[in-house]
Amino acid sequence: MDAWKLSVVLAIVFGLAELFSPSFGALGMAVGMLAVAATQFFQGGLDLNRDLLIFAFGSALAFLVFRAAFRRNTDQQKLRQDDINQY
């Protein structure tokens, strides 16, 4: 089995794991693994250092984008003027 096919399978596993988790962490990892699969397909072969670097940056970027995109308005705390707990 080619390295990029294994990466696609791992991306699908991360995508399925997202169904059972309450956060968007596994979805970011799935996008990072898809970026690794695309790199392996176009660059040819497995290079551990390159693939780990692409996975780390792709996952972190996807996580930040998903966090900003799916943020709820109730996630922020609203302070009132006479709130005893403001300090």
Residue 78 CB coordination number (10 Å): 6
According to the model, what pLDDT value does residue 48 have? Answer: 92
Q: Is residue 14 within 8 Å of residue 29, measured between CB atoms? A: yes
According to the model, what pLDDT value does residue 76 have? Answer: 60
According to the model, what pLDDT value does residue 57 have? Answer: 97
Report in angstroms the alpha-carbon separations of 13 from 2, 5, 9, 17, 29.
17, 13, 6, 6, 10
Task: List per-residue pLDDT tens for the chain, 87 residues long.
Answer: 889 999 999 999 999 999 998 777 899 999 999 999 999 999 988 889 999 999 999 999 999 998 888 776 665 666 566 666 666
According to the model, what pLDDT value does residue 86 have? Answer: 62
* Helices 25-43 & 3-18 angle (0-180, nearest 10): 170
